[in-house]
Amino acid sequence: MKHVRSIVLSMRLPVESGKRLKRIANRHGWTPSDASARLVEEGLRRSEFAFLDFRDSPAGRQAYIQGSSLAIWEVILLLRSYKGNAKDVAKHLNWPEAKVRAAHNYSEAFPEEVNEAIAENDSTDFDSLKRMLPQAVDFVASKAKRG
């Protein structure tokens, strides 16, 4: 999430919550203030968008569709490949169409976030992927012989 103009709000947390917040901040290399701002923003987005979740990924914190392994940007890539047809994407994923529309709604509200993730994905080649995932194997699908 990008830095934007901010306001200072004072807040009290239970001691245990404060400790948990500090652990999360340390894990991500954030300040406790940054961690609390990010978590509040994520909570606000969750309350504003259906089927939304946030998770840590190799590319950082990302928005995902609840109950799936797909980040919002991945659903949007599929939606683009199906020329915007949410019904066909839902059928492809065996999802209710509402989940596909939820991803689309989020991408319209935060297009820069989604487009940056797609651009990063597009810029990844096999060699850089293999550095991150040494077990990766390059393969080429062969055509089935008709007999």
**Considering the domain 52-126, what is its CATH architecture?**
Orthogonal Bundle (1.10)
All structural domains of the chain with their residue ranges: 16-48, 52-126
In the chain, the amino acid numbered 124 is T
Q: How do the pLDDT tens digits run along the chain, 147 residues long?
A: 666 788 988 889 999 999 999 999 999 999 999 999 999 999 999 999 999 999 998 888 999 999 999 999 999 999 999 999 999 999 999 999 999 999 999 999 999 999 999 999 898 888 887 887 889 888 877 777 666
Q: Are 56 and 38 in contact (CB under 8 A)?
A: no
